[in-house]
Amino acid sequence: MHNKTLKQLSAALHAKEISSVELTRHYLDRIAQSDLNAYLHVDAELSLAQAKAADALLATGSAGALTGVPIAHKDIFVTQDWRSTAGSKMLANYVSPFDATIVRKLAEAGMVSLGKVNCDEFAMGSSNENSAFGPVKNPWDKLAVPGGSSGGSAAAVAARLAPAATATDTGGSIRQPAAFCGVTGIKPTYGRASRFGMIAFASSLDQGGPIAQTAEDCALLLNEMIGHDERDSTSLTADQGNVREDFARDLDKPLTGLRIGVPKEYFGEGLSSDVEKAVRAALEQFVQLGATLVDISLPKTSMSIPVYYIIAPAEASSNLSRFDGVRYGHRAKEYKDLQDMYKKTRAEGFGPEVQRRIMVGTYVLCHGYYDAYYVQAQKIRRLIAEDFQAAFADKCDVIMGPVAPSVAWDLGDKANDPVANYLADIFTLSTSLAGLPGMSIPCGFGEGAKNANRPVGLQIIGNYFNEAKLLNIAHQYQLATDWHTRAPASI
């Protein structure tokens, strides 16, 4: 049963082939036997109570498509009954008095929460090694990282510990772990999914989205996740184009005439040969499906790393100032005065990467450096967005390329080299800076004795509000290939 997609599980539930309680218990048993460290908090009693309520609704014959289907939530979303830690000691025992909007919407759709999954601390990282509760292991190769920051979400879906999971993407944190774990993930247009109840990292970049086995599953999840939220000041309104829609409406449309932009900057120095081979093969598959490849240029791509690592830490230093030991979260046990309590609390509660980014962010916002760094970064951010718009205006309908320069690396390989971790985000950062929708789908595996069992992801980038088109393209590719159906031998 755990190898079925979300769509198939929904059909089985509605056909009374299995109950939500039975299905939920099946996943809880698998989670209990797993050694991947994907989950941080599981409460079987809570999950089974939700499943029982879903079964009652299913019995009436009026249940929705997602009723009774289990889901895992990234531990960056606050939840009323499960702990919400953001992967940090700072919030180790925190339980929110309310649910994040995305969590609430999926619960209202009838989904059953399996618990909270691991992530890099405050979503800061590309490997899930920054979690205060230990790294997640990649189910394809337990010596490898699962990607980050949504590594727990991607690993849980890949290992069939959940049919789907919520995730967040600030600079690639849905797409990169989805690629490393051989699953499908989509980051919507910035502002389409509510950020209310998402523990903030970088407010102008953070965006929630789903990870699942297939594009079809992601479409069903987006149907419930998208929509304006008056409690989120960054949430786009209906007048701005943020309307509820059926993201599965175009899944079966043919790809004849589709123009795919292939940026030369995505295939240069630094891209491993096995990743390029898999991505090129995927592009040729699209040609067979009726698409045309168009060479394009995104000249500011190389600027995305310095721009992102100025803007994101600056926003993080502001957002994380609320964690001071006064109102909630960790507080140092011994201190002399208020100032000493602040210092010790934050030194004890935050991990090295979070401290590093707070310091960088505070520096670039200081008087004398704000104009030289932060303002200039925002100007270049606009130029990066304009590069995409120039390509979409008359050259291509979508853009494709690799998600990451390599397959997943070994646990510990880059733990002491933060710059190497940052460079791994080169192909995802510009999409986030521009606020565009993007997704990752499995398209092959690495090569050689070490990498042959480590997945490769294809990135698909669209113009604003074009999520349905991206899902159509991904679905047609998945109908023609079987990469998304493959599962780790360990499961």
Task: Give the catalytic positions in this structure.
Answer: 74, 149, 173
Q: Are strands 398-402 and 207-212 parallel, antiparallel or unpaired?
A: unpaired
List the beta strands (DSSP E) in 65-106: 70-74
Secondary structure (3-state) at 319: helix
Backbone angles phi, psi at 415, to 5 degrees: -60, -30
Burial 353-385 (b: 16+ CB within 10 A, else e): bbeebbebbbbbbeeeeeeebbeebeebbeebb
Question: For residue 186, which amino acid is it?
Answer: I
In this structure, the chain runs to a length of 491
Helices 20-33/6-14 angle, 10° precision: 140
Secondary structure (3-state) at 190: coil
Helices 467-480/215-225 angle, 10° precision: 160
Peptide bond into 173 cis (omega under 30): no
CA-based torsion, 466, 11, 150, 448: positive or negative: negative
- DSSP labels for 421-434? HHHTTTTTHHHHHH
Among residues 246, 172, 259, 181, the alpha carbon closest in space to that of 216 is found at 246
- DSSP labels for 348-378? HHS-HHHHHHHHHHHHHHSTTTIIIIIIHHH
Among residues 150, 172, 244, the alpha carbon closest in space to that of 427 is found at 172
What is the Cα–Cα distance from 379 to 203, expressed in whole angstroms? 17
